[in-house]
Amino acid sequence: MSSIDLHEVTDSVLSDLDDLIASRGASVEVADLPHVRGSAPLLERVVQNLVVNAINYGDPVEPRVRIEGGVRGGEVHVRVRDNGAGVVPDQRESIFDMFSRGDAGELAPGSGIGLAFARRVVARHGGTLTVSNGDDGGACFTLVLPGRVTNDA
């Protein structure tokens, strides 16, 4: 596993998603993100899945996405937040099952594979991927990678 600048990974993902972002009129804000050790191609796919979901399940008129991260107690925490309706509590685990999309899945495109894939990749890196609802509504996906922090700048 190599050292990865999550900000560079996110920039690459946003560049790849430029057409989707423009067509949906989405705004994506990226705060400081740390470096981690891992597989860049796999973590890039995780970030891509989370951003696409945030756009697809965000506000239908003006989707807003915020990506932020930091290091606490030797763990990297990355949050991807949207401004949609959020995820109902009894579906916060099942949306990570293969081909499961939850109630909101009827309103957005997708196959139900992205979150299952993302959780498996994160687990392979020794971490966790969970979802909650933000204080101001919307879903907040939190990726935690324990013990993978680097001092690279």
Residue 4 has pLDDT above 70, yes or no: yes
Residue 80 has pLDDT above 60, yes or no: yes
Report the amino acid identity of residue 68: E
For the chain, the structural domain boundaries read 2-146
Residue 86 is predicted with a pLDDT of 87
Residue 153 is predicted with a pLDDT of 44
Residue 137 is predicted with a pLDDT of 82
Residue 17 has pLDDT above 80, yes or no: yes
- Closest of 48, 54, 126 to residue 87, by C-alpha: 54
Residue 114 is predicted with a pLDDT of 85
The string of DSSP letters for 121-151 reads HHHHTT-EEEEEE-TTSSEEEEEEEET-B--
d(CA 26, CA 24): 5
Report the share of the chain in percent with pLDDT over 90. 67
The residue with greater pLDDT, 98 or 80, is 80
Class for the domain spanning 2-146: alpha beta
E-assigned strand segments in the chain: 2-5, 27-30, 35-38, 64-72, 75-82, 128-133, 139-146
Report the amino acid identity of residue 33: L
